Structure 1
Amino acid sequence: MKKFLNIIRKAALWFFAITFIWVLLFRFINPPITYLMLQRGFERKADGKDWKIEKSWVDIEDLSNNLKRAALAGEDANFLNHWGFDFKAMGKALEKNQKGKKLRGGSTISQQTAKNVFLWPGRSYIRKAFEAYFTVLIELLWGKERILEVYLNVIEMGDGIYGAEAATQKYFGKSAHSMSKSQAALIIAVLPNPRLWSPARPTRFVYYKQGLILRNMRNLQKLPF
């Protein structure tokens, strides 16, 4: 038993060291690709389509302030104030789930970034545990500005389209630097299911969400970056 515990202890130390260095590197190096991008690419090939991963990195200072505010207004209004987890939002999500209502969930931008960059898609308790672990690490090692920058550059925004720059070029024919409030809100409004909904062909529900996001944008505090 003592030998077994030593093996577990060493394995845990190695895991922490490797993941700590991995997260720290991505504080300075932009993630080149994610598991989801590869999965979607192989899914397209399996469906007889061309391989497609469209993405173009844009630094946080070159992203539209409208987009940054829309992301917070639509995805995580308390982003600047929490440490990776919004327990109030989680409580509301749990309550609505128990009532059988459709719900996207209570994940923060930090949690979504940790999942997208370091993990695989899924809903298992194991993946959720890893998500919580990486969320804590990026909050400690990256900070809010870097988290939002990575999030807006790797998030899935269409079929084979990842990040704000590729999305705005595709849907609006312009750079993510010059997005209007309306366009930014529309981009964020489709994020629950960007392969089903499109900013180029908004449904009535997407327009409704856009309106909510625009309203919430007016109530946000000033961004520090």
Structure 2
Amino acid sequence: MRINEHIVHITDDFIVLNKPAGLLTIPDRHDQQLPSLQTQLKKAYGSIFTVHRLDRDTSGLILFARNEAAHRYYSQLFESRAVRKFYLGLVAGQLEPPAGSVDEPIMEHPVQKGKMVTNRKGKAALTDYEMQEAFGLYSLVKLEIHTGRTHQIRVHMKSLGHPIAVDELYGDATPVLLSAIKKKYRLGKFTEEERPLMSRLALHAWQLHFTDQQGVSHQLEAPLPKDMQAVLSQLRKHKKQQA
């Protein structure tokens, strides 16, 4: 992986990258050999401080501080909810109502390690959602999180009955297949097995809005990765054909 290809914005104080899906934000405690974004950044830039995280299979914008003063500033910025964080996700089914908020506290699952649940004893968690496009089988949803709980969007979407597509922990691990979208799909003559359009969590950290230490306002955006673009392209195409 070439770090430079993923940089969205860099200053002396911070670096914002478009994280590819499948890459850890920080090293795994149990398996230090797994590649992580933080490790690769340290190799390239030396001093790097983690401010927030993205799940391994979530793609999109992530900010790292480049010195201790910046780390204090941006950590406080995130904690005080002064950073606006927008995501785009593909969810199962069609949301009704098409826009709203989920204000449900989140805590660790009492039995399953690494899983979270909504529970009134948990920590406050607030997610706004707005359906952008509906395709029947899936919907494209814009989400803004006002808190930064572990798996927040995934847990909140599950609580609405519309989990993020390809979410083995909170929904269905089945990949997005063209055969599920296209009614008269047929495998190619020399193809034994269908290749999924998308086989990872369909969630992308799309925008970050914040003010830096110098008082400069930033509205950064990461375009949708190719796999999500491919799925949306097929969904739009077949919706048009059915209209």
TM-score range, shorter chain: under 0.3
Q: Larger % of helix: which? A: 1
Structure with greater strand percent: 2
